[in-house]
Each structure stands twice: as C-alpha cells, then as structure tokens.
Structure 1
C-alpha cells in the first residue's frame, strides 16, 4: 500500500487526515487531489465524498513540480488568479486547529504581498533527508517543510527554481508538530511511547530496552537489553538497524533491486 494511505495508529490514514485538516479551511469543493493513476482507487476508497472531477491522475509521475503545475492549471481555469495551498498527503501534523491558523496567516500574507510563503519547522535534530531555511545569519535554522502557499507556479521544480533562489519568500515559524514520516526513525517520533521511549506498531515487549521501535502488524516484537534499535517486519522480510542508520535503507534497496529472488 502506498505510504499516504497507511494508518499509523489504526485510525484514519495520513491521506484521510490531510483531507480532514483542510476541509474546515476551504470546504470540500475547493480541494483537488493530484495522485498517480494507480492510486486513484485508494483515494476513492478513503475519501468517497471527493467527486471524480476533483481528482487528477498522473499516468507517469514527474515529481512534485508537474503535480503542482497540473493543480495550478485546474485552479486557474475555475477560480482565476486564486491562491493555492500545496500540501503533501503523507505528513503527520498536529494539532489540526493550530495548523489551520498558520495557513490562514500565510494566506493573508500572500494577499498582502503577492509573494510566496513557506512554513518552517524548528529542527529537533539534524536531518540530511530534508532541506532547510536560513532566514538570516542571526537566526536559528529551520528545516524546510514542503508546504507552500503559492500565487504562481513556474515551469520548473518549485524548491530549486523558486523557493531556494528567491529573496522574496516569506517564512512562517510553524507553531505545530510536524513530521514527514520519511523514514522509520521519523515514524517513531509520531507514535505513542512508553516510559523508556520505546514505540511500536503492533505488539511489543521491551525488557531493559530504551528508544527502540518495533513494527510488526502480524506478531510480537521483543527487545531485550537494547537501545536505539529499529526492527521492522513486512511479509517475509525483516529489517534490523540502529536508529542512526535508517537513511541507509536506500542502499539496501539499490543493492537488492532486481536480485531479491537470490535471497529467498
């Protein structure tokens, strides 16, 4: 199942919660979903109230710039020179009310300046998988959240061609908790923790263990005498690594691509 349509706690999926967060701000009729054609059935299953005319399906994915450009064309054809809020569908954000307040402030800023607005989250730890914002040499760096309020969409990747080069980008310090849930360590940051900061999806027993993450939807994960260990089971594959090494999963994927059968 694609990441946006997964549930982290047995409740609504990341996609469904993104939809529920924005409906009170703009209403159902002004929400547009841009997704891969193969994911349209998931959208219809998890948000059946969204009409087909508000779902744009990409036959071939070309990253976020193309998706945003498609959305901008749809928006302009119906609402003219309107303001567009671009939101990834697979992030964890809470509380929703505070998030909407931040968006209202961002929208007012766009109306006043006609420029670009992005929302920055103060970093909890260095994260090589994300970009960052440096508002000035005197201020603390905030790691960039790819949620932007945009008036115009250029024909180029937004991050590199506009946000990273423009000196007119306004930055709002995020007053809410945010995670892109981009790796297993980030996933642990949005789950409930026990007294020793162990987290799990599925059943877990932790004995003299701390800061461990277990993901096992069909069984029991047991940690004994360990610290900062991630254990994930998916089908017949088990991943075990240190929390500081979760970004290296990509290396394993590259190594196994096309030859996974040799390990079965």
Structure 2
C-alpha cells in the first residue's frame, strides 16, 4: 500500500520578506488561492488518500498544517522539535509508516514545488512505486534540464540494465553531483546523461530502513528506539521520545547519507513541468508569459513602469510605485519590509536572514 511523506519544515529564507519564520513559504500562496502545501497534498490525493499522507514539519507549524489540511488525522502530522535535514525526517517517518504497514511503499515529496501536467506526474509516481515494489529499488525522479542551471543538484545515469514497464524506462544512477558552477552545468547539459535532482523519492519502507542501517547506523539506532516506542504505545508517539531521538542524531541529507552511497538507485525521467520555486526569479519565470509588453510582472494597478523590462513587483500596500529605467529587478513589499534585488541574484536573499540576526532585527525574520 502506498503512503506519502510531505516534508514541510523549512523557513523559506529565499522568499523574504513574504516568507517569515512564523509563516514560511510552504504555507503561502503565490499563484492562486491555495497554498503550496495544499496544492502538494491535493496533487497526490487521486492515488494516496489523506489518511495515508504524513506531513513532517517544525513543531511550531503543526497547528498551521491542521488549519490548512483540516481532514488530515492529527497523528499524521509529525512536529520536528529541531531541524536535522532530510535523512532523520525521512527515517523517522519511514519507521512510523512501517509500523502501520510493514509492506508499505513510501513516496517522499517536498511541500513547496510547482508542478504542471499533474496526470503525467501521477503516472511517473505510479511507475516509480511499481519499480520500488517489484524490483525493490530506491527510486528518484529526475527532471530533464532545459538550461545550465547552477541552483540544482544533478543526477547522472547510464542506459545499461534499465527497467521498463509499458514503454516507460528507469535508469541506474551513476553519480549524484552537487550544485555546479556555470561551466560545469553547461557540460552536464551537453553530455545528455544528466538530470536535475528533484528531491522526490520512492521506496519500500523496509528497503530504505535497511539502507539507513547500513550507511547511517547512529541514526538507525534512534529509529529502533522510536519503533520500540511505537510498539509499546499502540502506534502513538510521545513528544518526549520524539524530542529525544531528534536531538540524539546528527544533521545529514538523504542525498549524502543514503542516495550517494547506495548501489541500487534508479532514476525515472519526468514527463511533467517542474520548478522547485527556489527564488523570486523562479516565481517570475513561471509568470512571465502573463506580463506586460516589456515582460514586467506587476501585481497591482498602482505600479507604473517607464523604460523598464523584465521586472517583478509584488506589493501588499496601496501606495503608488514607479519603476524607471530598470531591468531584471525584483521589488517585494509587505506591511513592514521591502526587498529590492536583481532577480538573477535572488538566490542570495537568504543572506538577509543572517544580517537581520547580526543587527538584532529578529522581528523581521
């Protein structure tokens, strides 16, 4: 039976000032009425009911998750007492799911991605789940690159010993590559055997727990403690035990801890349009076809432009804003803060958080 883990614990620092610690990116809407988290869960409801969807988030955000997804069982919301990256998050959720169903297959999805062509997305998930179940592989979904992107990790695959079902193919993974510089990204693009790393994973819970035991034994020890606690308490997790196991493990990503070390990973090339929404530039790129004749995206009638092109302006206020002679600029204004940046530098907005801490301006974080 298929389960899903939705990872919803980040603070979205690249989307300051709209994303704040008390209301981070995944709980906000950028394109429509629904938030990114709501869209993520609605996207998979056709194949996985909400009773089998687990949301892992910061303990401070549990109430927000319950408010935004009112039909999710409260016991399906895991409130992390401290952020320890993706490997502990996935390991503890896998243990929780495995306790419920030892034969479960687990789909792991970030909460804040943008996906178009949802039918193709679900088809790719179903193919991945079939491979995980029938071939007992660790499966990830890769995105066909369209540009030499430096903001994503990459997956290199080979075309030997492939797995095919109904004309769709999964490829053995050769290497995982960290975010490259421009020249390296260009080489990846030209080689034709690299995909973007989407951060989506599919596997049997039993198999991923075996890999954690093999490659991350310290983390696996905490998983065993959690599993014993579940067995002793009818599947319920106490806050004290969750606090203990999280604080007893180290911070490590699933990519570094497991995927880069395992010899049994395959990748399914995606058939859908995807963005990780990693910066204000990504938001602009997805909306630019709806811009004015100069490529500007303006969210208010109170914004004027003169000889300005390819700018993104989002204002929560009614004040008049005029742009003159600007190209590729992002201006994002909330009630108490304003960001002005070059869109192609918007990955660096996360550094504003550090500056706010240094200057004791935590109320703006």
Residue 59 of structure 1 is matched in structure 2 by 81
Moved over 6 A (4+): none
Normalised by the length of structure 1, the TM-score is 0.90
Query: In 2, distance between residues paired with 1:257 and 1:248?
Result: 16
Note the residue ranges of structure 1 that are not aligned, 5 or more in a row. none
Match of 2:295 among 193, 197, 203: 197
* Distance of aligned partners of 1:228 and 1:160 in 2 relative to their CA distance in 1, 3 Å threshold: same
Q: Which has the higher contact order (CA 8 A, sep 6+)?
A: 2
Structure showing greater Rg? 2
Note the residue ranges of structure 2 that are not aligned, 5 or more in a row. 1-22, 159-187, 213-218, 220-251
Match of 2:202 among 130, 135, 149: 149
Normalised by the length of structure 2, the TM-score is 0.66
Query: In 1, distance between residues paired with 2:323 and 2:135?
Result: 54
Instruction: Give, in angstroms, the shift of residue 119 of structure 1.
Output: 0.8
Query: In 2, distance between residues paired with 1:21 and 1:176?
Result: 13
Match of 1:23 among 45, 59, 68: 45
* Distance of aligned partners of 1:202 and 1:64 in 2 relative to their CA distance in 1, 3 Å threshold: farther
> Is the CA contact 1:188–1:200 (under 8 Å) kept in the aligned structure 2?
no
In the alignment of these two chains, the number of paired residues is 263
Q: What's the CA shift string for 1:166-208, capped at 9, x where partnerless?
A: 3421111111111111111112223352244322445544443
Correspondence list, 1:176-255, <5 A = 176-191=272-287, 193-194=290-291, 195-203=293-301, 204-219=303-318, 221-255=321-355
In structure 2, the residue corresponding to 1:134 is in which secondary structure?
Answer: strand
> Is the CA contact 1:119–1:174 (under 8 Å) kept in the aligned structure 2?
yes
Query: In 2, distance between residues paired with 1:43 and 1:60?
Result: 17
Q: What's the CA shift string for 1:41-71, capped at 9, x where partnerless?
A: 1111111011112111112221221211121
Query: In 2, distance between residues paired with 1:79 and 1:124?
Result: 39
Residue 264 of structure 2 is matched in structure 1 by 168
> Is the CA contact 1:196–1:211 (under 8 Å) kept in the aligned structure 2?
yes
> Is the CA contact 1:202–1:218 (under 8 Å) kept in the aligned structure 2?
no
Q: Report the aligned-residue RMSD.
A: 2.3
Instruction: Give, in angstroms, the shift of residue 114 of structure 1.
Output: 0.6
Query: In 1, distance between residues paired with 2:50 and 2:313?
Result: 37
> Is the CA contact 2:317–2:334 (under 8 Å) kept in the aligned structure 1?
no
Instruction: Give, in angstroms, the shift of residue 144 of structure 1.
Output: 0.5
In structure 1, the residue corresponding to 2:70 is in which secondary structure?
Answer: coil
> Is the CA contact 2:87–2:257 (under 8 Å) kept in the aligned structure 1?
no
* Distance of aligned partners of 1:128 and 1:260 in 2 relative to their CA distance in 1, 3 Å threshold: farther
Query: In 1, distance between residues paired with 2:355 and 2:75?
Result: 41
> Is the CA contact 2:28–2:36 (under 8 Å) kept in the aligned structure 1?
yes
Query: In 2, distance between residues paired with 1:214 and 1:188?
Result: 9
Instruction: Give, in angstroms, the shift of residue 76 of structure 1.
Output: 0.5
2:218 corresponds to 1:118: no
